[in-house]
Chain A
Amino acid sequence: MSQADFASLKERFAYLTERDSADHLSVNCPAKHLLEFCTSLRDELGYDLLLDVTAIDWDVQTSPRFTGIYHILSTTHHNYIRIASDCLEDAQPSLPSLAGIFPAANWHERETYDMMGIRYEGHPDLKRILMWEDYPYHPLRKEFPLAGIEVPFPAADVAESANAKVLPAPMMGGPFVSPSGGTMREIEPQAKDESWTEKEEQH
C-alpha cells in the first residue's frame, strides 16, 4: 500500500472510524486495539517514525474526557497519520504505552502523563519529566488555573533555609489570550482577568 487511505485501512482494521481532519489522514482507534494497530502501521504499512504524543482534555464534565493523540510519519511514503484514542475512564485516565514499539514514545508519554495525568500502561519508567516528582497536580488539565496552586517548595531543606513556597503567580490582569476564530480585531490578545490570585501577593 503506497498511499494509505481510510477505506483500505478500514477494510483491514474494522474497529477504526474516520476523524475530521484539515490536513492528513486521521482515525479514531479504540484504546484496546491501539497497540496492535500501531504495530501493524509500523511493521506492514511503513509508518516508522513517531513524531508526537499528546492528549486533549475536552472538559471536566465531558465524557470521554481525555483523548490521546499520536502523529506517525512514514519515511518511505512521506505521509502522516494521526491517531486519536479515547481514554475510557475520566477520573483515572489511562492508555496503552507505545514505548515498547516506538522508543520515541518514552519521553513523550512521560510529558503527557506529567501535564495531563494520563497513565500509560506498560511504560518502562512513567514519572514526571517537566514538573518535579512530588508535584501533586497535572497542570494542563482544564480545571487547573494558569497561575498555579500553592504547594510546598520542591526541596524541604531549601524551603526552610530560603523560606520559600510555590505560590500562585500574580496574573496582573492577565492571562492575555487570543480567541480562536473571528476577524483580526476579534482575535487580538485580550485580558481574561484572573487577578484574584493577587490577594495572595499582599502579605
Chain B
Amino acid sequence: MSTESTTLGYNSKVEGEVVVTQADAVINWIRKHSVWPMPMGLACCAIELMAVGASRFDISRFGMEVMRFSPRQADCMIVSGTVTYKMAEVVRRIYEQMAEPKWVVAMGACASTGGMYRSYATLQGVDRIIPVDVYVSGCPPRPEALLDAMIKLQDKIGRESSVKNLTAPKAVAEKPAFAGKEA
C-alpha cells in the first residue's frame, strides 16, 4: 500500500515493517495528537471550555482531554475570558513558566480584542502580552467553535519546522510582543 502523502511513504512490499518519513512529520504528529491544554479560565468563556471537556462535546476525541492546571505540564494555554490588567501579569507569568513548545488559543471576543470591555481595566487583547496562535470569535464561542480552533491549531502544529526549532531553540525573551502571526 502506498499513500499520496508527501510526509509518509510506505509500501509494505518494499519496506516491510519500516516506515520512511521525515523527522518533522513524526515530531509534529506526536505533538499534535497529544496537546495538553492549560485552561486559563477568566470569565464566562471558561464555562464553554468546561463543556468542551465534558462528554457532550468531548475534547478527548482529539487527544486533548488532559487539562493540566500546572503550566509545567501543559503546552497549550487556552485564554478563555476577559483579561484585566491586574490578571494580565499572572497570565504572562504562567505563559513564561510553560515549557517549549507551547501554543496559545485566544478564546472569545474578550481574550482576542478586549471584547465589549473597552475600559480602563481591561487588556485589549491577550496578544499584547503573549503570542497567540489561534483566535476564536464569539461571545462566548460555541464549544464546536473551540474544537474547530483546536483542530486548526493541530494543523498549525503539523506545519511547524520542529527539527529546526530543536537545534536552535526560540529565545523567549527576544520574542516581540506581537509575535502572533508566525508562519
From A131, A158, A172, A175, give the contact of B129 (CB < 8 A): A158
Q: Does A41 contact B (CB under 8 A)?
A: no
CB of B18 to closest CB in A, whole Å: 46
Mark A residues whose CB is within 8 Å of B: 130-132, 137, 139, 144-149, 153-155, 158, 161-164, 166-172, 174-175
Q: Does B152 contact A (CB under 8 A)?
A: no
- Near A by CB (< 8 A), chain B positions 73-121 give 85-86, 88-89, 92-93, 96, 114, 117-121
Contact assessment for A164 and B118 in the assembled complex, using a CB-CB cutoff below 8 Å:
no
CB-CB nearest in chain A for B178: A163
Contact assessment for A147 and B120 in the assembled complex, using a CB-CB cutoff below 8 Å:
yes
From A139, A153, A171, A175, give the contact of B121 (CB < 8 A): A139
From A144, A146, A164, A169, give the contact of B177 (CB < 8 A): A164
From B85, B118, B129, give the contact of A147 (CB < 8 A): B118
CB-CB nearest in chain B for A169: B118
CB-CB nearest in chain B for A156: B89
* Chain A residues positioned under 8 Å from B123 (CB to CB): 164
Contact assessment for B89 and A171 in the assembled complex, using a CB-CB cutoff below 8 Å:
no
Q: Does B176 contact A (CB under 8 A)?
A: yes
A153 to B93, CA, bound (A): 13
Q: Does B122 contact A (CB under 8 A)?
A: yes
* Chain A residues positioned under 8 Å from B129 (CB to CB): 158, 162, 164
Q: Does B1 contact A (CB under 8 A)?
A: no
* Chain B residues positioned under 8 Å from A148 (CB to CB): 119-121
5 contacts between A and B (CB under 8 A): A130-B86, A158-B129, A163-B177, A168-B120, A175-B118
A161 to B86, CA, bound (A): 16
CB of B120 to closest CB in A, whole Å: 3
